[in-house]
Each structure stands twice: as C-alpha cells, then as structure tokens.
Amino acid sequence: MANGDGYAGDVSPKEAWEILEREPQAALVDVRTKPEWGFVGVPDLSELGKQALLIEWQAYPSMQVNPSFAEDVAAAGVPKDAPILFLCRSGARSRSAAQALTALGYSACYNISEGFEGGHDATGHRGTVGGWKVAKLPWKQN
C-alpha cells in the first residue's frame, strides 16, 4: 500500500532495523554509488543472517539513473511482496528508488529517511546528525 508520495512510507534507521529483524523476507537495498560503499561504508546485516544489497540507483560518475535497477533488484531474489528498505546517503535517492519500484508492482517499499550519513550539521558535515551510523547500527568499511 503506497502513501501519498507513491511508496509505503519513510522509516527511521532504527525502524528499518526492526523491520529487518522481524520480517524474514525483508531486504535492505543500498542505492548509493560504488565509491560511497567503498569509502564511507555499508550496513552490516550479518547478525541478522542477511546481507545488504548494493545496487546503484544512479551510476557514478555520470549520476544517470541505472536503467537496469529494477532488473537488478529482481535478480537479487527480492519478492514483490517483501518489505524493501531503500538506503542512500541522506534519503533522497532512496525515496526515488522506493517510488520507482512501487510503480512496478512492489508492494512494501520504504525509504530510510535519514539515510546512511544523515543531514548536514551546523558546520556542513554529515555523519553527526541522524542516519544509520549515528543510530549506532552495525556497519562496516572495506
């Protein structure tokens, strides 16, 4: 069921973690770019027996929308009725991904509203106000 914005709704990082814990089929799709995964880190779902799916919504460096995004999600084995939690840096790209997959018949697409790094603080830096990392949820860096 979509909200007025064309997807199931926004959740905080902690709410996303609770859904991943509670729902065996729930998946987290990190839609950031390859450089972001490598330099900033990725969610670590290993204690849940899961793995974050790393599928770019926009390909670096052109930042053009990935034309095979939906096919990549389907190829990862995510059922259309499973809760899917989309994550980006701050919640903008992940919202677009949630809307796009909802339009293609996925029924439970959620945007992690604060993203991985959260918004900017008073000095213009990310990673101190909101987000997956600030919520002290598991993550790793390669």
Its pTM surpasses 0.85: yes
Q: 9-19 pLDDT, tens per residue?
A: 999 999 999 99
Q: 23-56 pLDDT, tens per residue?
A: 999 999 999 999 999 999 999 999 999 999 999 9
Q: 80-112 pLDDT, tens per residue?
A: 999 999 999 999 999 999 999 999 999 999 999
Contact yes or no for 94/57 (Cβ under 8 A): yes
Give the Cα separation of 141 and 42 in Å (integer).
6
pLDDT at residue 1 above 60? no
pLDDT of residue 98: 98
Pairing of β 27-30 and β 109-112: unpaired
Token digits of residue 113? 């509203």
Give the Cα separation of 95 and 105 in Å (integer).
16
pLDDT at residue 3 above 70? no
pLDDT at residue 2 above 60? no
Contact yes or no for 53/28 (Cβ under 8 A): yes
> CA 73, 133, 89, 131 torsion: positive or negative?
positive
Task: Outline where DSSP puts E strands in the chain.
Answer: 9-11, 27-30, 42-43, 53-54, 58-59, 64-65, 84-87, 109-112, 139-140
Query: Which structural domains are found in the chain, ordered by start?
Result: 9-137 (3.40.250.10)
pLDDT of residue 142: 77
Give the Cα separation of 59 and 138 in Å (integer).
25
Average pLDDT of span 110-129: 93
